[in-house]
Structure 1
Amino acid sequence: MNATKFAGVRAFSMTPTRLGSGTTDIALSQKLQEELKFEQEAAAETAAPDTTPEFLKSFLEQGVWSIEDVRGNDEVALTRKFGDENLRVVFSIADIAVEDEFEDPEAQPEEDDAETVLATPIRTSVSITKSTGPGALNIDLTAQDNAFTVENISFYDDAKVGTELTAEADWKRRGLYIGPSFETLDYTLQEEFQKYLAERGLNEIVASFIPEYAAYKEQQEYVKWLGKVKNFVDL
């Protein structure tokens, strides 16, 4: 039996690519830097860096509402006390991002930036609790064009169920009766609810502030996101 001869096997030399050093990294980093520079220059045109915008100064100087804004979070809360009541108004900058995503550039009206911000509807949730008794009144609103549109008013016997932002509270809220659609209520009852909310400071000032602040925060978070992603790609 003839011995079978095997051809010599060539030893391939492979240069390992270091993680974080792919062929597309440089191009991506450059594009991120371009976008970051553009956003920073655009922001500098409206306000000096590290300064409080005039609209925010004016709102805070009124001394009615406090702002709870955690960097990196997409939700913002306005809080205040009204007699024995505690009011908490929560809105998200996610509505700004969604609006931007589906905008048709060719369909944009020739308006200035302030008017465009005011035209962006921001969903808002208001919770009212009392120190004198149990329960929570929750109101779903939309802030747009310097006014609030009431969507729904619900009541929870347990204030924690109505106000806590936990998985357990969210689970308990599911399946509960949340009240009728606001527009189906008697018109005079709608008017009284609107007066009730206005008396507690949910007026045109807050309705115009919420979309403007949402746009302001979304811009800040976007710039920070660009910087963090670029730094990560560059590692």
Structure 2
Amino acid sequence: MSALRALRQLTASSSRSLAARAATRSVARSALAARVVPVASRTFSVSARRLGEGASDAALSQRLAEELKYEKEATPAEEPEFLTNFKKNSPWSLQDTPGLDEVTLVRKFGNEDIRLIFSIGDLQSEQEAEFEEGEEAAEESAEDPEAPIHSYPLRCSFSFTKPSTPGALTIDAMCQEGTFVIDNISFYSDGKVGTELTAEADWKRRGFYIGPQFETLDISLQDEFDKFLAERGIDSNLAYFVPEYAEYKEQKEYVSWLKNVREFVDA
């Protein structure tokens, strides 16, 4: 599949804590519902004039404020240690635009420009779908502190380009439990077709041969590709960082969403 299609087919990621946070949010919402005091009819009429046209605006604003307060208290004010260490010690540079669900990591290696893209777009839906499994995992972890942390797969797309040649090498892979599992490796003679994140480029990629399934390659060839990636910093350290950052970004975006929606309702 193409780099862009791989991103749009994100299955989900992150660790057991994602399901735990989803459970916490659910409990918090139930608690908020119990705490919210019904608004008197006279208050509604006043609030409707102040907050817009709807009689329900005041209650919705109150509920959003409660949820926002809870999530802010649950979110560390300072940059997490894992992110600080990554910025300090990793050769990868992080490109993350607030409000967007895609995250990009870039680095140079010799004469190569390397880019990694992943998305948090379907993260929340996967959390909810796997909620029960996450509860079971949390119970097992409580009983056995040494139990391995389970994480859901996050689809990633790598691209490699060189200024000395117009081609581009792209790799679609799954990131899970500290490793990248390669799906396929594609080569495009036109680097722009292989790397541009536009609808036009994606349409052009659909007609190209995307390469064989990685697991069908000769074992010795697979091993050499693994060495090729490891030498460029595509290793377990990066594979652990990606889902952890996806979780961190999802929480930030959720808090921002609550704030923006409440401000719009109150306007």
Q: How far 1:63 sits from its partner (Å)?
A: 4.0
Give the corresponding residue for 1:37: 69
Q: How far 1:33 sits from its partner (Å)?
A: 1.4
Give the corresponding residue for 2:33: none
Give the distance between the partners of 1:107 and 1:224, measured in 2 at CA: 25
Contact kept, 8 Å, 1:118 with 1:211, in 2: the verdict is no
Q: How far 1:135 sits from its partner (Å)?
A: 0.5
Q: How far 1:148 sits from its partner (Å)?
A: 0.8
Give the corresponding residue for 2:23: none
Give the corresponding residue for 2:157: 125
Q: How far 1:117 sits from its partner (Å)?
A: 8.0
1:204 aligns with 2:203: no
Give the distance between the partners of 1:106 and 1:143, measured in 2 at CA: 19
Contact kept, 8 Å, 1:32 with 1:226, in 2: the verdict is yes
Give the corresponding residue for 1:188: 220
Identity among equivalent pairs (%)? 55
1:60 aligns with 2:92: no
Q: How far 1:120 sits from its partner (Å)?
A: 2.7
Letter in 1 for 2:236: E
Give the distance between the partners of 1:55 and 1:176, measured in 2 at CA: 39
Q: 1:149 to 1:66 in 2, by over 3 A?
A: same
Contact kept, 8 Å, 1:118 with 1:146, in 2: the verdict is no
1:154 aligns with 2:186: yes
Letter in 1 for 2:222: Q
Give the corresponding residue for 1:78: 105
Matches within 5 A, 1:210-229: 210-229=242-261
RMSD (Å) for aligned C-alpha atoms: 2.1
Q: 1:166 to 1:107 in 2, by over 3 A?
A: closer
Q: 1:117 to 1:162 in 2, by over 3 A?
A: farther
Give the corresponding residue for 1:12: none
Q: Deviations over 1:83-118 (max 9, x none)?
A: 000000001112422322312336521248xx9986
Letter in 2 for 1:230: R
1:169 aligns with 2:201: yes
Q: Deviations over 1:17-52 (max 9, x none)?
A: 768231221221122112111111111xxx3x1x22
Higher-helix-fraction structure: 2
Structure 1 stretches of 4+ moved >3 Å: 115-118
Q: 1:106 to 1:200 in 2, by over 3 A?
A: closer
If asked which structure has higher relative contact order (CA below 8 Å, sep 6+), I would say 2
Give the distance between the partners of 1:61 and 1:200, measured in 2 at CA: 17
* Matched position secondary structure for 1:80: strand
Give the corresponding residue for 2:27: none
* Matched position secondary structure for 1:72: coil
* Matched position secondary structure for 1:94: coil
Q: 1:157 to 1:228 in 2, by over 3 A?
A: same
Give the corresponding residue for 1:105: 132
Q: Please identify, of 191-200 and 100-109, the stretch whose mean Cα deviation from structure 2 is larger.
A: 100-109
Aligned residues: 213
Give the distance between the partners of 2:233 and 2:151, measured in 1 at CA: 21
Give the corresponding residue for 2:35: none
Q: TM-score under structure 2 normalisation?
A: 0.75
List alignment gaps of at least 5 residues for structure 1.
Answer: 1-14
Give the distance between the partners of 1:116 and 1:155, measured in 2 at CA: 36
1:94 aligns with 2:105: no
Q: Deviations over 1:160-199 (max 9, x none)?
A: 0011111211111112111111111122211111111111
Q: Deviations over 1:203-223 (max 9, x none)?
A: 000000000001101100110
List alignment gaps of at least 5 residues for structure 2.
Answer: 1-44
Give the distance between the partners of 1:83 and 1:200, measured in 2 at CA: 10
Give the distance between the partners of 1:105 and 1:225, measured in 2 at CA: 26
Contact kept, 8 Å, 1:76 with 1:90, in 2: the verdict is yes
